[in-house]
Amino acid sequence: MKRASNPIIAVLTLGLLLGPITGCGRRPVEYRTVTFKVLVKNRVPGEKIFVAGDDSLLGAWNPAGVLMNKESDSVWTKTLSFPEGKKLEYKVTEGSWWTQALDTAESKYDNFRLTVHGDTTVQVIAYGWLNRMADGIPILDANRFRPRRPYLELDSLWRYHAGDSSIWSDPQFNDNGWVVTDPFIIWSDSTQLQWHGIGWFRFHMIVDSSLWNRTLAIRINQLGASEVYYNGRLLYRFGRVGATSATYESNAMSWWQQIRIDPQFDQLFAVRYANPDWKSLVRMGYAPGFLITLKDVNTAFRTAIEVRVNAEVQMVFTLIPLILFFVHLSLYGFLRSQRQNLYYALCMLGFAGLTYFSYERDLVVEVGKLLLFMRLGGISVSLAILFGVLTVFELNYGALPKRTWAYFGMAAVTGLLLLMEYKLTIVTAWNYIFFGATALEGILISFRKRNKGLHGDWLILVGFLMLTGFIVFQMLVDYGIAPQTFWTRQSYAYGMVSLAISMSVFLSYNFARVNKDLEVQLNNVRELSAKAIEQERTATKLELESRLVEAENKRRGEELQSARELQLSLLPRELPQIEGFDIACLMKTATEVGGDYYDFLDAGNGSVTAVIGDATGHGLKAGNMVTATKGLLSILSTTRELDAILASASRAIKRMNMHLLTMCLAIVRISRHRLTFSSAGMPPLVLWRSESRKTEFLVQKAMPLGAVDDFPYVEKTIPVQPGDIVLMVSDGLMEMFNGEGDTFGMDNIAATLAKNSARSAREIAESLFSEGARWADGRAQPDDMTVIVVRIVE
């Protein structure tokens, strides 16, 4: 192209190009008014409402930066001007982050977001406030610890002083000169806040009388060592507090403990805290301080259940790749030419390590182990990624391409970052880059022609796509874009399982195709030669099985009928009539006789002695055991000590040499003010206390009668009173199954007893059977069911 020779044309052309740009730069900025309106549902006299946001006009996230105007007792407004198109984030407070507005679910609002387009009014409804304050001191009451409310995190308002002095735990000590800060020890203002390895933190609070003498759950998350003082007394000690490494032992405590609230208004938490290794933790991106959290005990119990579920998830997602590691390592051992099995086994080992160490970091309390698991988890990530791409290379190329060394180098960089103690965020970001490169490699290879004649390559593509999707979602969770929940915190594990399944199916499919043609030919030969023989064998087998089934059904029917008649004949014909007691007993036999047994021994002193048992086995064998037991109890009934009765009966049954047959048995002797019991392998007794209106489980763990030669059975005595109810059950009722496969259980038995505690003993027994039948919903009864109910008449 020829250069323009006319300078006028050149100037005009330059003006046309630069005109729109310079014109836009001179366009005036248009401002719009935004009216922030807050409706307060539960107003407090004298309160002030503030709006805080990410703009300087909104206080630059100062919670008390912008005071709103009071329009009425429940309406507050503030009008500000912002440029058109300005993006804002803001919150509503009472002047502190401790007093943020709550939504209808009593949870903190997320940041409100607004893009300014024209004059507008935005409205926030404050259904409550996260905490209450008085002169800068938080006020705690029972409402703050309702199950729906967020956990109370003591993340600010601490008074701090460097050094160490035992007097600083005293509630009467004057700490007005101490600096108010957070307990995380990542401080930007080094002129006032200095950390030399040990210091004290004090947190003042006003406790409403609604919390006095109430038990709460408390937890401290830390990477150091601490002594937690409550109102001047040592509450808990985690680790060993010292200013030097020789006198210091860290403990990353994260389990919930109990704290009973003192009955006083002014209260204090004082924490003597040490962390001489804080500089290395800060370099790695960790906060070297601590965080104390309070919440109600019931919610803490549910958190403990989540910890158990967390451990179960860890086990599942660790075992799956670990099993695949051993399977494919074995395949490589049998066929060394298929190196893809070796690479894939090492890839799965890396995934197993990643999952194990990621979950294990939440369970350890030693800081050294926590940091070690972090490093091992990072190494596991790089190993999983490296050997994953080597598996893909081996499957698609005759030899590893030269770019393989680049991936070895990327894995080495991960190890170097961990060795030099770089921040975890940097290591994680690098591993994401590493994974992105390998994922792109795997997806591109799936669309190329390969030279190894493999089949089902779409399985690898599906696995890589699913893993990529879950890793991308994990990135969104890690960087706060997607919400983090119990199930999304380690979402990469689902992608790992998807890739593991698809890759295993792919490798197994191609391994099978190697011998497919040969198998087809061999199967044809086998089918032709064995067809006639198989037909004859099948006919003979069916006839023989039919005869055996018929004979067995007949034998079992006769045996069951005899056993049932024997079992019922040994039971007492009438219940004892003893003044001061309401006694009922019900038995419901199953189709398969289980050998339940009950009886009443004559004590002759105005008390009730009840016996309930369950023989192991079924049919006539169980009936024989019941017969032997009844005879022994008739002889031993004069023995005063219940444990002696069980011990003597057990020795006698053992000497009968009845092979594997044993007898579970429980004996209870009840007077109007005392209950004595002893048990040999039976379910717990259930005791309804009329005074407290609560049920208790009376548990004795012991071997069944006849199991061992000489077992030390124990007799226990507890006080009872008129109105109390004693319930004895065999295991048939508690083992009734519903449609979901859940058993009726002792908790439902106790609940039914409590629900019907005002009824007669007979009605209670019938209600237990009716509730069990409702639970089973028509399903067959697996075992005999027996209940004995003894009410001490008031």
Q: Look at residue 11 in the predicted model and tell me its pLDDT.
A: 36
Q: Look at residue 231 in the predicted model and tell me its pLDDT.
A: 95
Give residue 37's identity as a one-letter amino acid code: K
Highest CATH level, class, for 576-792: alpha beta
Q: Average per-residue pLDDT in the chain?
A: 81
Report the percent of the chain where pLDDT is more than 70: 81
275: pLDDT strictly greater than 60: yes
Q: What tens digit of pLDDT does each residue of 616-625 get?
A: 766 667 777 8
514: pLDDT strictly greater than 90: no
Q: What tens digit of pLDDT does each residue of 307-337 get?
A: 566 667 777 778 888 888 888 888 888 878 7
* CA dihedral sign, ordered 181, 187, 189, 193: positive
758: pLDDT strictly greater than 70: yes
Report the percent of the chain where pLDDT is more than 90: 32
Is 32 exposed, middle or buried, given 0-12, 13-18 or 19+ CB atoms closer than 10 A? middle
Alpha-helix residue ranges (DSSP H) falling in 570-641: 619-636
Highest CATH level, class, for 31-130: mainly beta
Dihedrals φ, ψ of 257, to 5°?
-120, 170
Cα–chain center distance at 549: 48
CA distance 362 to 369: 11
385-389, 454-458, 778-782, range with the lowest pLDDT = 454-458
Per-state percent for the chain, helix, strand, coil, to nearest 5: 40, 25, 35
Is 231 exposed, middle or buried, given 0-12, 13-18 or 19+ CB atoms closer than 10 A? middle
CB-based contacts of 601, cutoff 8 Å, min separation 6: 609, 611, 633, 637, 667
Q: Sorting pLDDT into bands at 50, 70 and 90, what band is 33?
A: very high
Q: Which residue has the higher pLDDT, 438 or 1?
A: 438
Q: Which residue has the higher pLDDT, 444 or 586?
A: 586
Most confident of 166-170, 293-297, 591-595: 166-170
Q: Crossing angle, helix 424-446 and helix 458-478, to 10 degrees?
A: 160
Q: Look at residue 268 in the predicted model and tell me its pLDDT.
A: 96
Mean per-residue pLDDT for 5-27? 41
Strand partners, 290: 222
664: pLDDT strictly greater than 80: yes
Strand partners, 257: 218
Dihedrals φ, ψ of 237, to 5°?
-130, 125
Is 527 exposed, middle or buried, given 0-12, 13-18 or 19+ CB atoms closer than 10 A? exposed
Considering the segment(s) 137-296 as one domain, its CATH architecture is Sandwich (2.60)
Strand partners, 125: 39
Is 256 exposed, middle or buried, given 0-12, 13-18 or 19+ CB atoms closer than 10 A? middle
Mean per-residue pLDDT for 151-156? 89
419: pLDDT strictly greater than 80: no
Q: Look at residue 287 in the predicted model and tell me its pLDDT.
A: 86
Give residue 699's identity as a one-letter amino acid code: V
Q: Look at residue 543 in the predicted model and tell me its pLDDT.
A: 72
Q: What tens digit of pLDDT does each residue of 183-236 get?
A: 999 886 656 688 888 999 999 999 999 999 998 989 898 889 999 999 999 999
Q: Is 281 left (phi over 0), alpha (psi -120 to 50) or beta?
A: alpha
Q: Which residue has the higher pLDDT, 287 or 306?
A: 287
Q: Quick one: which of 83, 85, 78 has its CA closest to 31?
A: 83
Q: Sorting pLDDT into bands at 50, 70 and 90, what band is 418?
A: confident
646: pLDDT strictly greater than 50: yes
Domains 31-130 and 576-792 share a fold: no
379: pLDDT strictly greater than 70: yes
Q: Look at residue 317 in the predicted model and tell me its pLDDT.
A: 74
Q: Look at residue 27 in the predicted model and tell me its pLDDT.
A: 64
Q: What tens digit of pLDDT does each residue of 450-499 get?
A: 545 556 666 666 776 777 777 777 777 766 676 666 555 666 667 777 77
Q: Look at residue 191 in the predicted model and tell me its pLDDT.
A: 62
Q: Look at residue 722 in the predicted model and tell me its pLDDT.
A: 93
Q: Look at residue 512 in the predicted model and tell me its pLDDT.
A: 67
Q: Look at residue 3 in the predicted model and tell me its pLDDT.
A: 37
- Residues, the chain: 794
Q: Which residue has the higher pLDDT, 566 or 465?
A: 465
Q: Sorting pLDDT into bands at 50, 70 and 90, what band is 567?
A: low
CA R_g for the chain = 38
Per-residue tokens: 445: 């290879």
Structural domain boundaries in the chain? 31-130, 137-296, 338-481+492-513, 576-792
Give residue 335's identity as a one-letter amino acid code: L
Question: What SS3 class is residue 418?
Answer: helix
401: pLDDT strictly greater than 50: yes
Mean per-residue pLDDT for 690-698? 93
Q: Sorting pLDDT into bands at 50, 70 and 90, what band is 8?
A: very low
Q: Crossing angle, helix 297-334 and helix 339-360, to 10 degrees?
A: 170
Q: Look at residue 380 in the predicted model and tell me its pLDDT.
A: 84
305: pLDDT strictly greater than 60: no
CA distance 179 to 478: 33
Count the neighbouring beta carbons within 10 Å of the beta carbon of residue 691: 8
242: pLDDT strictly greater than 60: yes
CA distance 319 to 409: 29
Q: Look at residue 629 in the predicted model and tell me its pLDDT.
A: 82
- Cα three-residue angle 356-361-366, rounded to 5 degrees: 130
132: pLDDT strictly greater than 90: no
Question: What SS3 class is residue 227?
Answer: strand
Per-residue tokens: 417: 């970052």
- Cα three-residue angle 258-261-265, rounded to 5 degrees: 155
75: pLDDT strictly greater than 90: yes
CA distance 206 to 452: 75
Q: Quick one: which of 721, 715, 714, 640 has its CA closest to 687?
A: 721
Per-residue tokens: 623: 């009936």
270: pLDDT strictly greater than 90: yes
Mean per-residue pLDDT for 597-602? 84
Per-residue tokens: 367: 């800081």
382: pLDDT strictly greater than 50: yes
Per-residue tokens: 582: 């309401």
Query: Max CA-CA distance within the chain?
Result: 133
- Classify residue 215 by its DSSP letter: E
Q: Look at residue 91 in the predicted model and tell me its pLDDT.
A: 95
